[in-house]
Chain A
């Protein structure tokens, strides 16, 4: 990025009505990927000058234990529903989960899921990191995920969405193929980096379950309806040029007993519609890249 400038110069402008035609496999019009965040939040993380990890003095019992629900109960509930309807996960992984709860990571591996890095912990923020520190978390991510899953990570979603001006250049330098941190488009887009190549794959804040339930205060049924509407629109527009729909999830939210039923119905709707190419983030980036 162009550090200090008002325009960070992340990408070029391309009007939505004049895009080259992207074609998804099988003539599908919208690539749909599901991004479960498999996270570990530390109960007593060190302080960061720019952001408090927890609003209450440690232990923030509800904050910590709510997120812990993922790793005791709701991961498997969410994952079963995804598998049942044919959706693989592209996992945004707090890589220290490989140490803390290897059973959760192993479950994703057994389901054939793809893993990318979401930092070491979701309670360690990248703001103010030195280049050396930032290289350390990228190298740690590559090493840890390789040891735990055999996979080489291809993507990055910054821990708790915290960045430095050099994050995108660094992940491209290490050979990563995609970032999930930019929200400027409904199609895969090229990101300007100092060396190598980097694609921005649409992740989503707006239909992220966290936004659905804690920003827009939706019920489980309203969130499911939102996903269906998002899908219907992107599937229709994708006839001109293939679009991307991401469903970013947190098991401790979507896997609550009052939400998982309506969510399953939304997944069934998308799976049965016929216009969705259900894929992983890496597969979507590869097909897009081959058409550039």
Chain B
């Protein structure tokens, strides 16, 4: 006897296009080709600056959050290492390679570590809003007013601490609710980075732009989840760049390589060298255009 209702084999949203109205379908290879200001592959370095309260809260626990019984000194401090040491190594690596990056920054990091944020800004890097702190997670179980307040608070605190209102947003774990794209639009944001379904920017139905920050290419996915070495990660980045450069040459359309970095992961002493040599290698390639998220979005927007 079935325990499934008849409706389980009925499909009211089976239709041309998606089973949702968030954004329309299109295939990347059929769109008019995009051209970058230089090169053919936009290399987008995006560093997450994260502060994990030792007291986890929120709709779900962010990746990397506390794991042991309270007080979890082990994870609190190992994560904060990224802000104290790892991020500085990355800033130096970017400076040495002569490249600009985006820093997806918790409001709490902007407030707690003004020296770090000042160095990010002095280096010509971009600040992307990354919620309040690592308890500031969002999903559809969060009541609408709380989500609206959380996003508004994060934007206000980041603006107050950095002197500028970010145009980009990265949700924690890239997780949104059904309402998030509309709230981000209402907060005046130009783009979010959460949806990993494309390799170029595209527009939501409400006008918000999505700049896909490929999670498969992140140090978190490759090093922490899949447990590959930093050298294996760098090899994958080179393989990706080589493929995208060939695809750009063959198709005549610019491509994008998002490299998502986490200071407490890739900023460790035994891993940072793999990032440094990757950067100096890619920076010498004619096909590479190192760009901040906002630069890529603007360039793309001007061609639409």
Evaluate contact between B20 and A130: CB separation under 8 angstroms: no
The closest CB in chain B to the CB of A216 belongs to B226
Segment of B85-93, B102-110, B147-155, B227-235 engaged in the interface with chain A: B227-235
Bound-state CA distance A219–B241 (Å) is: 15
Bound-state CA distance A128–B2 (Å) is: 5
Q: Is A83 an interface residue (CB 8 A)?
A: no
| Cβ contacts under 8 Å, A240 to chain B | none
| Cβ contacts under 8 Å, A44 to chain B | 19-20
Q: Is B162 an interface residue (CB 8 A)?
A: no
| Cβ contacts under 8 Å, A58 to chain B | 140, 178
> Interface readout for B199-227 with A: 1 if CB under 8 Å, 0 if not?
10000000000001011110000100111
Q: Is B175 an interface residue (CB 8 A)?
A: yes
Dominant secondary structure of chain B at its interface with chain A: loop
Given contacts A61-B195, A101-B25, contact A43 B20 (CB under 8 A): yes
Evaluate contact between A261 and B243: CB separation under 8 angstroms: yes
A72 CB to nearest chain B CB (Å):
5
| Cβ contacts under 8 Å, A289 to chain B | none
Bound-state CA distance A58–B214 (Å) is: 20
Evaluate contact between B60 and A220: CB separation under 8 angstroms: no
- Count of chain A to chain B residue pairs whose CB atoms are closer than 8 Å in the complex: 158
Evaluate contact between B196 and A65: CB separation under 8 angstroms: yes
Q: Is A69 an interface residue (CB 8 A)?
A: yes
Q: Is A292 an interface residue (CB 8 A)?
A: no
Bound-state CA distance A137–B257 (Å) is: 40
| Cβ contacts under 8 Å, B197 to chain A | 64-69, 72-73
Evaluate contact between A57 and B139: CB separation under 8 angstroms: yes
Give the interface size class of chain B.
35 or more
Q: Is A275 an interface residue (CB 8 A)?
A: no
Evaluate contact between A46 and B8: CB separation under 8 angstroms: yes
Evaluate contact between B198 and A72: CB separation under 8 angstroms: yes
Evaluate contact between B239 and A46: CB separation under 8 angstroms: no
| Cβ contacts under 8 Å, B239 to chain A | 220-221, 257-259, 261-262
Evaluate contact between A136 and B198: CB separation under 8 angstroms: no
Bound-state CA distance A133–B14 (Å) is: 17
Closest 5 A/B residue pairs (Cβ): A130-B2, A68-B197, A258-B240, A65-B197, A257-B240
Which residues from chain B sit less than 8 Å from chain A, CB to CB? 1-4, 6-9, 11, 13-20, 22, 25-29, 59-60, 139-141, 171, 173-178, 194-199, 212, 214-217, 222, 225-228, 232, 235-237, 239-244, 247, 255, 257
